[in-house]
Amino acid sequence: MNLRWLLMTESFLATVVLPGANLGTHSITISDGVIVGLEPIEGSADLIAFPGLADIHTHGAAGESFPSSDLPGCLAAARHHRSNGSTTLLASTVSLPAERLLPQLRLLADAVDLEAIDGIHAEGPFINSCRCGAQDPAAIIPGDPDLLQRMIEAARGNLRSITFAPETAHVHELIDICADNNVIVSLGHTDAAAAETAATIAYAVKRGASVTATHLFNAMPPLHHRSPGAVAALLEAAAAGEATVELIADGVHLDDATVAMVLSLVGAEHVTFVSDAMAAAGKADGQYTLGALDVTVADGVARLTTSDGSEGAIAGGTSRVIDQLRRQARAGHPLAEILQACTSGHRLVGRPHRATIELNSPANFILCDSNLQITRVFREAKEVG
């Protein structure tokens, strides 16, 4: 990664905003990458400082794809997200045959060793093919505990999250393996009923596993008053503090009113905004790939390419988490509230210190102008170039 050690002393005047709290104008001083001064002052500031963001579900950026690119390509994709403020980053794969998936997990583990990413999220292959979305149906298989164990070994302990459907085979065995290896149980790409989903969540909680919803509402049945489905169970679990729900708050995957409803129902601290970005993030419209599938991006919206030119399924996102933060701020949400949803991923992957700005701590924050355009990003006492 393009990181620069902060072997100097600098001071900034900025409005400091933390998840859940606007602290007002402060003078921030960093020396050798450590915050050595954090003093409240009177008056206003041109800059805004808030903790770096977390993106625990992203497939790529800058023309590169985590499920298929080589190591330099994966590093370029990670660098793009880091420079756009995502200081915690999980690289997401897609459903692939084992002979392709396992080598890619080994490659992404190399990216973890290089500190380019913080871990790996496997989206599939144990999902429901009837809710495949932009996943290749041919690569989707029933739950296979042996393959999951091989995936964890290939990732060298860096598999931090896996998406599977509550109705997949051997679901309790999959959860047991996740709990024993500190892997987040992320439920999604599912056709399960509410009761089945709730029972799966309850088992995961009993086993001590963290639970998330993979891009809530997308790739699952819509909430219906006579058939509430997985959405209802996941919302109920999040409201009870037993799960965190991913939202792709980009205005494409979800309407802004839906985002507002979820924030109100479960609390922003139980939401995590994710990009679900594919290779087109940061690039122009055009032709791309996601795993083994061709994708067409038009007007910034990624969809599977179809042979007859009809509108294909949404195929990942083209936004970054910072874009979603800006969008929801424009929609009227207080920045302190949105930051709760943009930083909860730090806690989920064991990096809670990245969600705050504290005296005598390594610099982990973003400086923005009044339009929330990033001017500088600091991560673990280093500046992201």
Q: Note if 276 is an active site residue.
A: yes
Tell me, yes or no, whether 234 and 325 share the same domain.
Answer: yes
> Cβ–Cβ contacts within 10 Å for residue 207, how many?
15
Tell me, yes or no, whether 159 and 284 share the same domain.
Answer: yes
Q: What is the mean pLDDT of the chain?
A: 96
Residues in the chain: 385
4 domain residue, yes or no: no
Residue type, 45: A
- Please state, in angstroms and rounded to a whole number, the distance separating the CA atoms of residues 273 and 285: 23
Tell me, yes or no, whether 33 and 110 share the same domain.
Answer: no
Tell me, yes or no, whether 296 and 376 share the same domain.
Answer: no
Share of the chain above pLDDT 70, in %: 98
- Please state, in angstroms and rounded to a whole number, the distance separating the CA atoms of residues 370 and 75: 30
Tell me, yes or no, whether 121 and 250 share the same domain.
Answer: yes
Q: Is 189 annotated as a binding residue?
A: yes
Which one is catalytic: 144, 191, 250, 276? 276
Angle among Cα 74, 158, 99 to the nearest 5 degrees reads 65
Phi, psi (degrees; rounded to nearest 5) at 327: -60, -45
Is the pTM higher than 0.75? The answer reads yes
Residue 302 tokens read as 């990624």
Tell me, yes or no, whether 182 and 43 share the same domain.
Answer: no
CA dihedral of residues 146, 123, 119, 245 (deg, nearest 10): -120
3 domain residue, yes or no: no
Tell me, yes or no, whether 334 and 374 share the same domain.
Answer: no
Domain count, the chain: 2
pLDDT at position 289: 84
For residue 100, give its domain range.
53-351
Which of 138-142, 144-148, 305-309 is least confident? Answer: 305-309
pLDDT at position 290: 85
Tell me, yes or no, whether 32 and 65 share the same domain.
Answer: no
Tell me, yes or no, whether 274 and 361 share the same domain.
Answer: no
121 domain residue, yes or no: yes
Tell me, yes or no, whether 289 and 321 share the same domain.
Answer: yes
Q: Is the confidence at residue 69, as pLDDT, over 90?
A: yes
pLDDT bin (cut points 50, 70, 90) of residue 3 is low
21 domain residue, yes or no: yes
81 domain residue, yes or no: yes
Query: Any idea what the CATH number is for the domain that residue 220 is in?
Result: 3.20.20.140
For 184-334, where are the E strands, in sequence order?
184-187, 211-213, 244-247, 271-273, 286-290, 293-298, 301-304
Tell me, yes or no, whether 314 and 362 share the same domain.
Answer: no
Over residues 344-383, the pLDDT tens digits come to 999 999 999 999 999 999 999 999 999 999 999 999 999 9
Pinpoint the alpha helices (H) of the chain. Answer: 71-83, 98-113, 145-154, 171-180, 194-206, 229-239, 256-266, 321-330, 335-348
pLDDT at position 6: 54
- Please state, in angstroms and rounded to a whole number, the distance separating the CA atoms of residues 138 and 360: 52
Q: Is 215 annotated as a binding residue?
A: yes
Query: Any idea what the CATH number is for the domain that residue 40 is in?
Result: 2.30.40.10
1 domain residue, yes or no: no
pLDDT bin (cut points 50, 70, 90) of residue 5 is low
Tell me, yes or no, whether 136 and 207 share the same domain.
Answer: yes
199 domain residue, yes or no: yes
- Please state, in angstroms and rounded to a whole number, the distance separating the CA atoms of residues 318 and 51: 22
DSSP class of 3: E
Residue 299 tokens read as 């007007």
- Please state, in angstroms and rounded to a whole number, the distance separating the CA atoms of residues 107 and 286: 27
206 domain residue, yes or no: yes
